[in-house]
Every structure is written in C-alpha cells, then in structure tokens.
Amino acid sequence: MKLFFRKKKTVPPQEDAQIPQPPLSVIPYGEHFPAVADLPAGSELLQSAESGDQLPGILYCAPDAAPAGRYIFLCGTHLPADGRAELFASAAEQTADLVLFGEQNESLPETPAARYALCRPRERGCALSSGLWAKLSALENLDRAYYPAFALALCESAEMLTSAKFRPYTRAVKTAPPAPETALAAVRAFNAVKTQLTAPSYKFLFEKVTAGLLFAYANLTLQANRDELYTFDESVKTLNMAMRVAVYGRAPLGFLRALEKRKFAPSATTKAAARLALARKNI
C-alpha cells in the first residue's frame, strides 16, 4: 500500500526591513551637545548618557559605537546661535568627502593647513562622508583626535558651508597630550597612507603627527620614566626616522637631545622644557 504525504507549504522568508541610513552621526567634542533638537530626524548622537529625556526621532548610541550616518559630524559646543537646523540639513545633503563650516563671507582655503583652522572639533567642527570615515577607521588604532588631520590630507573633495557667526569660547579647553601608543599609532597610520598624499598634504600630515610625538615625549619626560622614554624613542626610530629627526629638532631648548645624552634620565632642565612643549598648541 502506497503512502502519500501532503507536501508542507513553505512561506518564503520575509526580507528584513531596511533601516534607513541616518543623515548625520554626531560625535560631540566634550560631554554636552547643545543642538540635539536641531538635528535632522533619524540622526545619531554618539555620546555618554545624558540626564533628562531623550528626544524622539534621534538615535542615541554609545560614544565608541560605529557611526552609520551618511555624514559623520565632529563638532564642539560653539556652533552658531542661529541657523543650526539649516546648517545640519545642508550638511546632510552634500556630496563632498569633507564638509567644513565657515562664517558668512568666508571662502574655502586652498591648503590643508589653512583648512585645519576651520575644522578643529572643539571650535567649528567638520563633517566626513561615510566613505572617508571608513578609510580612517581602517587605519589600525588611529585615535579619533587625529581624524580631522588625516581627513584633510586624504579627502579628494571638500566643500564649505557658511552660517551665522559662531559662538565665542566661554572658557579654554584643555586636552590631554597623546599617550605614547596613541602617538605611535598615528605614525603607523601616516606610514600606511603617505604614498597616497600630495606634496602639500604630506607636509601637513607629517607636521601634525610629529607634533603628537613631541607631546608624547614631553609627557613621558615629566613622568620621569626613563625606561618608557627609551622604549618609546626606539619605537619612533624604527617606525619613521625622519619624524624622529624632526621632533628632536623642534623640541624646546633641545631637551630631547639633552635627554639622549643623559641616557633618558630626565633632569629639572629637561622637565622645564617639556612643560614648555606641552603648553604649546596641541594637534
């Protein structure tokens, strides 16, 4: 006797509903972002949990989350008092690799060094396309503090949006000097991209990474850690000898050459020179 089995009907699996890409992913410089209400609907905000109610229509993410926005906006608290919503909406509609922000009647500078003054996150900020952000994220262990400099060196196109006058500083913002590993990671990242750079971009990025090395040397000198200083110096020598020569030449009062002669045993004089280096403008 033949047995017949009814074939079970299968329902084709439903495709997962596509989540729309956020127009902007905002990474604030500092703990507070004053313009959440002005962001386009569906934007991401990457920062520590805030007190108070979260606004509907905004995605709140951890500070170290991978941003998913069409543009990633690095910014501080000194955004223009008027026209912020229009500024964000315009930024989300751009097509350039990098979007800078200027005051009315300002024009986009030609060189990376001149553009850098416009895009530091603690001042005006900048917006990086998701493609450019992906390139920077692929550079192993590159700290986000270096992203504006590397973005300026690597971007193939840039635009500048102008807005009402940006708010002045209410207080000085102090930043910690790069840790040794952070500075070394920046050197490795520079080595990885240097063949892609134009001559002006090469010079600009070389200067920024060298500045980070100088601050790391100065910080280690103040800690009076002879072994770490020696190890750090050997790493710099191995990774990029030209940068080591440059940073030795720029060290205030020649304190790095003095340290090398003393076999990296910091003295009162070298510590004073290291404080002078740290007092200068950071990356």
Compute the distance between CA of residue 39 and CA of residue 229 in angstroms, rounded to an integer: 45
132-141 in b/e form (b: 16+ CB < 10 A) is bbebbeebee
Q: Is the pLDDT of residue 83 over 50?
A: yes
User: Residue 170's pLDDT is what?
Assistant: 61
Q: pLDDT digit string (tens) for 164-210? A: 888 776 655 566 778 999 999 999 999 999 999 999 999 999 999 99
Which of 11-20, 34-43, 93-102, 178-187 has the least mean pLDDT?
A: 11-20
Q: Is the pLDDT of residue 2 over 60?
A: no
Q: Which three-class secondary structure state does DSSP give residue 138?
A: coil
Q: Name the average pLDDT for the chain.
A: 87
Which is it for strands 126-129 and 158-163: parallel, antiparallel or unpaired?
unpaired
| Residue-range domain boundaries for the chain | 24-163, 180-279
Q: Is the pLDDT of residue 20 over 90?
A: no
Q: CA dihedral defined by 260, 142, 160, 44, rounded to 10 degrees?
A: -140
User: Residue 5's pLDDT is what?
Assistant: 39
Count, residues in the chain: 283
Q: Please, which pLDDT band fits residue 48 given cuts at 50, 70 and 90?
A: confident
DSSP-assigned beta bridge partners for residue 129? 71
Q: Please, which pLDDT band fits residue 281 given cuts at 50, 70 and 90?
A: low
Compute the distance between CA of residue 24 and CA of residue 44 in angstroms, rounded to an integer: 6
The residue among 1, 24, 175 whose CA lies nearest residue 90 is 24
Q: Which helix (H) or strand (E) holds 185?
A: helix 180-193
151-187 in b/e form (b: 16+ CB < 10 A) is bbbbbeebebbbbeebeeeeeebeeebbebebbbbbb
